[in-house]
Amino acid sequence: MIFQESIVSNILHYYKSLNIDRRQNEILKDLSRELAKHISLSELILQGFGLLAIKDWQCAHKRPGYDISSMNPEDRIRAMEEILGFLSSRFKDTLSSKIYEGQIDAGIEKLLNYYKKTHARG
């Protein structure tokens, strides 16, 4: 896959400028590591994209992302589905060519299934 370098560089800079709590950081790193198996970007850049998607969710719901931790498992999964929708849109907007959109969709679907198995229950 080929992404627009300037956008990827900006996301990497954004990621490096943020701090999140340890548990959230562990989940983000784990999900980025898993997603890197399906989308050809570094884990650090994927973490930056992930933070932007979380920010999109926060703005859409007017609540902090850490609220997700206190949700019941079904609501956590719904929140993650929304976050992954934002993530997918950000990836697709960054692609140089639309031919990879199917690969992004498949990677996001696999990531959601992974999240359900590993992090959704608590």
Give the Cα separation of 44 and 73 in Å (integer): 27
Q: Which residues contact 17 (CB under 8 A, 6 or more apart)?
A: none
The helix (H) or strand (E) run that includes residue 11 is: helix 5-16
Segment 29-59, tens digit of pLDDT: 999 999 999 998 999 999 999 999 998 998 8
- Name which of 59, 114, 115, 78 is nearest 68 in CA terms: 78
Domain ranges of the chain: 5-118
Give the Cα separation of 86 and 83 in Å (integer): 5
- Name which of 92, 97, 66, 91 is nearest 79 in CA terms: 66
Query: What letter does residue 38 receive in the DSSP assignment?
Result: T
Give the Cα separation of 99 and 13 in Å (integer): 27
Give the Cα separation of 85 and 78 in Å (integer): 11
* For the chain, percent of residues with pLDDT exceeding 70: 92
Segment 7-27, tens digit of pLDDT: 888 777 666 555 456 777 899
Give the Cα separation of 72 and 26 in Å (integer): 20
pTM of the model: 0.83
